[in-house]
Amino acid sequence: MSSLAFYSGTFAFISNAAFGGKVGELRFEINAGNVLVTGDINGDKVADFAIQLTGVTTPMVAADFVL
């Protein structure tokens, strides 16, 4: 089972900034006509999960998520 299934904390939206090493960071990047939302649940500056939003090309804002 994914470690995300056991994560019970909240996320902090950091827009398209690089992961900063804090637990629970959520960011996005626009790539080839899609938005990729990634999250770092353990603070190691590496994405632990990713969700691709196909056909979405507008920048994401914190209000787009229920954090």
Domain of residue 37, residue span: 23-57
pTM reported for the whole predicted model: 0.85
Q: Is 29 inside any structural domain? A: yes
Which residue pairs, CB below 8 angstroms and at least 24 apart, start in 23-27?
26/65, 26/67
- Total domains present in the chain: 1
pLDDT tens profile 6-49: 677 889 999 999 999 999 999 999 998 899 999 999 999 999 99
DSSP, collapsed to helix, strand or coil, labels residue 59 as coil
Q: Is 37 inside any structural domain? A: yes
Q: Strand runs (DSSP E) across the chain, as ranges?
A: 12-13, 25-31, 34-40, 49-54
- pLDDT-derived band at 2 (thresholds 50, 70, 90) equals low
